[in-house]
A = this chain, B = another copy of it.
Amino acid sequence: MEMAEKKANIDLSGIFPPIPTPFKTDGEDIDYEKLKENFDKWNSKPFKGYVVMGTNGESVYMSESEKISMVVAARRLANKNQLIIAGSGCESTMATINLSNEMAKAGADALLILTPCYFKSGMNTEALYQHYIKVADSIEKPLILYNMPGNTGIDMDSNLVTRLSEHPNIIGLKDSGGDLSKMADIVYKTRDSQFQVLAGSAGFLYPALALGSVGGICALANVLGDEVCRLYELFIGGHMDEAVVLQQKLVEPGQAVTRRYSVPGLKHSLDCNGFYGGPCRSPLRSLNGIAQKEVEQAFIQNGFDLKSL
């Protein structure tokens, strides 16, 4: 493809929930009806857009056609002015390019591409650099880097991200690692290139914004969409004292649906809060009773009522 002279122009500022995939009770068939019901509720919230087929969408458990189908559905169900960011990272460069282009045709506005990670010792700086450059050269929509060391064991450093930010088709980074120093360093080093950094969790959204991030892809926004958006708006409006207190209260609920209980925690929270969570695909298992209570307490003890307990 011919490369634009300057950075592809998509504004990522704001909040994006990385939506889970609703399955029917057998954990296998996608329940598009429940997906529509969830979107009916999400669409009333001031989200900038949605991430489809990220970690929380259980993308590793989805076939290629299911992934495409979820992008199509999300594009159809979201408000017209909202962005659809699709997770298209595969282990191989070629598969990543192919899936990215399929998802772009299906309606994705940008692609969120996780670091390959199976061959850990081989995924050095040069391998990751070449991978992302080849992908960025070969896809028709903008690329957002996705760093998630907790699941992948791979952690891109600020120099690698900065080198990649010079590519006109690489427009941003979602970083879920929570290293705010690195985030500050990246914002500083990419200050002349319109590169946009997104916080990968509600747990550090406020400090990330304070250091120059433009928004967040936050699992917690699926459950507490109004509150996560309000934190963003308090920051934008300069209401720092209120923002800090809200941020502090969002840490525990945020961890309950990510690092602590992962997708089963997210889905249980949705079930408790008027949305459809439902089962995960095997081998992921639903939370047992004790874990369910701990998830619920993480919300309740920080002042967030769960509607259907």
Contact residues of A with B, CB < 8 Å? Answer: 28, 55, 60-61, 63, 91-95, 116, 118-123, 126-128, 130-131, 134, 150-151, 153, 158, 178-182, 184-185, 187-188, 201, 203-204, 206-208, 210-212, 240, 244-245, 247-249, 251-252, 254-255, 259-264, 280-285
Are A188 and B130 in touch, CB under 8 angstroms?
no
Are B211 and A130 in touch, CB under 8 angstroms?
no
The DSSP consensus for interface residues of chain A is: helix
A263/B122 contact (C-beta < 8 A), A180-B180, A282-B93, A283-B127 known: yes
Q: How many chain copies? A: 4
For A150, list chain B residues within 8 Å (CB): 120
For A264, list chain B residues within 8 Å (CB): 122
Are B188 and A251 in touch, CB under 8 angstroms?
yes
**Cα distance, A299 to B55, chains bound together (Å):** 38
**Cα distance, A157 to B184, chains bound together (Å):** 24
For A158, list chain B residues within 8 Å (CB): 251
A185 nearest in chain B by CB position: B251
For A212, list chain B residues within 8 Å (CB): 244, 248
Are B184 and A181 in touch, CB under 8 angstroms?
no
Are B181 and A245 in touch, CB under 8 angstroms?
no
For A284, list chain B residues within 8 Å (CB): 119, 122, 127
For A187, list chain B residues within 8 Å (CB): 248
For A204, list chain B residues within 8 Å (CB): 180-181, 184, 207
For A92, list chain B residues within 8 Å (CB): 60-61, 281-283
**Cα distance, A91 to B260, chains bound together (Å):** 20
Provide 29 A-B residue pairs closer than 8 Å at the C-beta atoms, listed in order of the A residue: A55-B118, A60-B92, A61-B91, A61-B92, A61-B95, A92-B281, A92-B282, A92-B283, A119-B263, A119-B284, A121-B259, A121-B261, A121-B262, A126-B285, A127-B283, A128-B283, A130-B285, A134-B282, A158-B251, A178-B180, A178-B181, A180-B207, A181-B201, A181-B203, A184-B206, A185-B252, A188-B248, A206-B210, A212-B244
